[in-house]
């Protein structure tokens, strides 16, 4: 994996552990020679991931919609800052530029990015690993919900391994490196659906 898209919040929670985690994620990726593709912001966890990677000598590509770039939240310290017309183009660029996806704590936008990466993998728009960093148990309920969707039958057995979760970055990166792509819906027969 040469580059990973990192999905995370643009907020700065009161608990300092989240900002420290984001900086550590950026630094770990840089130390492993893995470039960061992220939302292009300088605030919150987004900015912390970029700072951590840049301070460790890593590559950081920001992809930001023009409406946000023009509101003074863009991080001009990135190795490369790409301005796009909107959120759909932004997420497509994340997919095009990265070899996988890592989601760390965040809010609604982060969930949108995670679920789209999973949905696109399930359909067959990409075959890249989709990682979820569950530090501090932040995503315990989401992991349980994903399991419930599978148990009820809304996630096919072939797609139940798309979401890769771990509590530490080294464990997550190891699991992502071992990821074997599944059979996408686009290649399934009607009887398998």
Q: Looking at residue 72, what is its pLDDT?
A: 73
**What is the CATH number for 91?**
3.40.50.450
Q: Looking at residue 193, what is its pLDDT?
A: 66
Q: Looking at residue 25, what is its pLDDT?
A: 98
* Number of domains within the chain: 1
Domain containing residue 166: 3-192
**DSSP alpha helix (H) spans, the chain:** 16-31, 44-55, 66-69, 87-97, 108-123, 140-152, 169-177
Tens place of pLDDT for every residue, the chain, 193 residues?
999 999 999 999 999 999 999 999 999 999 999 999 999 999 999 999 999 999 999 999 999 999 888 887 999 999 999 999 999 999 999 999 999 999 999 999 999 999 999 999 999 999 999 999 999 999 999 999 999 999 999 999 999 999 999 999 999 999 999 999 888 888 777 777 6
Q: Looking at residue 190, what is its pLDDT?
A: 73
User: Which of 77, 82, 90 lies closest to 62 in space, CA to CA?
Assistant: 82
């Amino acid at each position: 994996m040469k580059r990973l898209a990192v999905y995370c919040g643009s907020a700065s929670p009161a608990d300092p552990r989240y900002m420290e985690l984001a900086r550590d994620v950026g630094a770990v990726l840089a130390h492993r020679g893995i470039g960061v593709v992220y939302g292009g912001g300088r605030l919150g966890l987004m900015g912390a991931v970029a700072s951590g990677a840049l301070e460790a000598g890593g590559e950081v590509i920001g992809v930001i919609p023009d409406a946000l770039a023009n509101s003074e939240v863009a991080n001009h310290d990135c190795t490369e800052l790409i301005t796009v017309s909107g959120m759909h183009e932004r997420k497509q660029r994340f997919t095009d530029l990265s070899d996988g996806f890592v989601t760390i704590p965040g809010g609604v936008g982060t969930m949108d990015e995670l679920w789209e990466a999973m949905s696109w993998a399930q359909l067959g728009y990409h075959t890249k690993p989709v990682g979820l960093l569950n530090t501090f148990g932040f995503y315990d309920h989401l992991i349980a919900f994903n399991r419930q969707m599978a148990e009820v039958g809304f996630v096919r057995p072939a797609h139940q391994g798309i979401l890769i979760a771990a509590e530490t970055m080294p464990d997550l990166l190891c699991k992502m490196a071992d990821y074997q792509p599944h059979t996408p819906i686009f290649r399934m027969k009607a009887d398998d659906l």
